[in-house]
Amino acid sequence: MDAKELELKLVTDAAGLERIRRHPLVREHRQERPTTARLDSTYYDTADRSLAAAGITVRLRRAGARRLQTVKTAGTRAAGLFRRREWEAPVATNGPDPTLLRATGLDALAAPDLSERLVPVFTTRIRRTAYRLAGEGWEVELALDHGEVVAGDRSAPLFEAELELLAGQPAELYRIADRLLEAVPARLSTRSKSDRGFALAAGTIPAPVKSRPVPLAADQTLAESFRAIARNCLEHLLANEASLSEAHDPEAVHQMRVALRRLRSALKVFRPLLVDPALAEVVAELRWLLAHLGPARDGDVFLAEIIDPVMERHPELASLAETRAAWKQVRDRDFAAALEAVAENRFTRLLLALGAWVETGAWSGNPALAEPVGPFAVKVLAKSHRKMLKAGGKTLAALTPEQRHQVRILGKQLRYAGEFFAPLYGAKAARPFLSALAELQDQLGELNDIAVAGPKLAASHHQGPLAWAAGLVAGWHEARRPDLLKGADRAWKRLRKLDPFWS
């Protein structure tokens, strides 16, 4: 049977599952006695993992005496929700049934010899307790999963609460999850069991993820376009949470901050149309999260781009090593603060609030949002372009550092808006302009790092060997400034000559 499922998943621990089981919401809305079952599932793929590459999962599950074959597509994972197609049918075979695989109509499952090439990759062993919850206009299945993922001699525990919408609006999933989080520490996750299993089998850890193009089309309305852009930003944010929380990867902090800046840029672009009193609270919570992620990322940049290049040229200087050690302590403190913020339920509830607001916020009732996106995109991009050109003038060399920084900010706003709307014009058409804009951003970014570094070093190291080392670092970068400024000016002049892709 081909069906579409809409799910939201919370990751917790054994105590968290028990708290959910006893939560007043579950007692209040439970429609019947819960069912408990042992589910042993085997996941299959080819030796070269062609199905995983195509975003397809093939699973054979034993539930008591029954065997079920399930095929799922990757679907979308925006705003914390899984939206996937699913085919499920009983089977009598010990391995995947080739006839049922081909019946899905998916190209990746059409090869006649596919079933012969499928091999078991990992298994999950789960004890699932399922509740049917219902209220006025909605029905949800709550599944509490306790078990493990096993791949060869590797295993990992699994404690998940899955909410699947059976009837009603997606907002109910967010509302129920938020109620549960009032009493249960948990994380919102878009990593499926198959994601975890394939990573376990490969021995990999969650890696940072860059943003993907927004799926925009010329025939979409403004409401549909804003929702697509906001979902894309939230997907980018949440996709990096595991890399930060589990792998402690500094790049994940950077990607999460980029995701938040992209979302704030989208809110600014569409702000005249987002008539909603809840917007102020949304922006305030984004500001809270950025305040915790920003210093950690700034610390990484300061070490990698300011201190380390000088260290590489003067490894013999003990005072320089001490200076680096002092700044690394600051960075480590700020990174720990970022980890703590993302581990808080406030972060998870922020994600739920954002998801609910994007999907069902009062903003969507504005009649002006029914207009097509095309004319609006042209107007936004043209205005942003004009402001940047006016701020930069004919040459950046004539500007003060503060004025160049303003050009950088305006350029970043134009770049984000350009990346949002680029699919309306085609990636090939937009690439030259956006690439030139990115080059300018890199050059101006280096100049800004140098401008910030000098006073920062001087304020922290007043005397003695560390003050001398700080002066060495500041002076070394100051000597680079003229060449960087020439490079930025060349990038600026190239950009000025390019025709905008939206005109």
Enumerate long-range contacts of 496-499, CB under 8 Å, 24 or more apart.
496/389, 496/392, 496/394, 498/432, 498/433, 498/436, 499/433
**Coil, strand, or helix at residue 57?**
strand
Whether the predicted pLDDT of 463 surpasses 90: no
Report residue 336's pLDDT band, with 50, 70 and 90 as the boundaries: very high
Q: Are 307 and 323 in contact (CB under 8 A)?
A: yes
Enumerate long-range contacts of 177-180, CB under 8 Å, 24 or more apart.
177/8, 177/10, 177/352, 178/349, 178/352, 178/353, 178/356, 179/23, 179/25, 180/10, 180/20, 180/23, 180/25
Among 83-92, 157-166, 327-336, 371-380, name the one with the lowest average pLDDT: 83-92
Q: Are 10 and 186 in contact (CB under 8 A)?
A: yes
Q: Enumerate the CATH 2.40.320.10 domain ranges in the chain, comma separated.
A: 2-204
What digits encode the pLDDT tens for the residues 308-318? 999 999 999 99
Alpha-carbon gap, residue 224 to 188, rounded angstroms? 24
Mean pLDDT value across the chain: 94
User: Is the whole model's pTM more than 0.85, yes or no?
Assistant: yes
66-73 and 56-63 as β-strands: parallel, antiparallel, unpaired? antiparallel
Whether the predicted pLDDT of 83 surpasses 80: no
pLDDT (0 to 100) of residue 399: 94
Distance in Å from the first CA to the final CA of the chain: 47
What digits encode the pLDDT tens for the residues 233-267? 999 999 999 999 999 999 999 999 999 999 999 99
Mean pLDDT of 217-236: 95
35-45 and 187-189 as β-strands: parallel, antiparallel, unpaired? unpaired
Structure token digits, residue 445: 């970014």
Residue with tokens 């198959």: 194
Whether the predicted pLDDT of 1 surpasses 80: no
Q: Are 183 and 23 in contact (CB under 8 A)?
A: yes
pLDDT (0 to 100) of residue 248: 95
Whether the predicted pLDDT of 217 surpasses 90: yes
CATH (residue range 373-503):
1.40.20.10
272 C-beta neighbours (distance < 10 Å), count: 11
Domain 2-204 has CATH 1.10.3720.10: no
Give the DSSP H or E segment for 167: strand 154-167
Q: Are 432 and 498 in contact (CB under 8 A)?
A: yes
Structure token digits, residue 276: 């909603």
Alpha-carbon gap, residue 381 to 421, rounded angstroms? 9
pLDDT (0 to 100) of residue 235: 92
Mean pLDDT of 126-152: 97
Of the chain, the percentage scoring pLDDT greater than 70 comes to: 98
Alpha-carbon gap, residue 171 to 356, rounded angstroms? 6
pLDDT (0 to 100) of residue 94: 85
Alpha-carbon gap, residue 351 to 239, rounded angstroms? 12
pLDDT (0 to 100) of residue 92: 87
Alpha-carbon gap, residue 463 to 467, rounded angstroms? 5
What digits encode the pLDDT tens for the residues 394-451? 999 999 999 999 999 999 999 999 999 999 999 899 999 999 999 999 999 999 999 9
Q: Which amino acid is at 278?
A: A
pLDDT (0 to 100) of residue 2: 54
What digits encode the pLDDT tens for the residues 424-438? 999 899 999 999 999
Q: Which amino acid is at 327?
A: W
Report residue 73's pLDDT band, with 50, 70 and 90 as the boundaries: confident
Alpha-carbon gap, residue 91 to 70, rounded angstroms? 10
**Which CATH number does the domain 217-371 belong to among 1.40.20.10, 3.20.20.450, 1.25.40.10, 1.10.10.10?**
1.40.20.10
With b meaning 16 or more CB within 10 Å and e meaning fewer, what string describes 423-461?
bbbeeeebeebbebbbbbbebbbbbebbbbbbebbeeeb
Sequence-distant (≥ 6) Cβ neighbours of residue 22 within 8 angstroms: none
What digits encode the pLDDT tens for the residues 18-72? 999 999 999 999 999 999 999 999 999 999 999 999 999 999 998 878 899 999 9
pLDDT (0 to 100) of residue 431: 96
What digits encode the pLDDT tens for the residues 183-209? 999 999 988 999 999 999 999 999 999
pLDDT (0 to 100) of residue 389: 97
Report residue 3's pLDDT band, with 50, 70 and 90 as the boundaries: low
Q: Are 149 and 135 in contact (CB under 8 A)?
A: no
Mean pLDDT of 99-108: 91
Whether the predicted pLDDT of 178 surpasses 90: yes
Using only C-alpha atoms, the chain has a radius of gyration, in whole angstroms, of 26
Q: Which amino acid is at 50?
A: S
Report residue 221 CA to chain centroid gap: 24
Q: Enumerate the CATH 1.40.20.10 domain ranges in the chain, comma separated.
A: 217-371, 373-503
pLDDT (0 to 100) of residue 126: 97
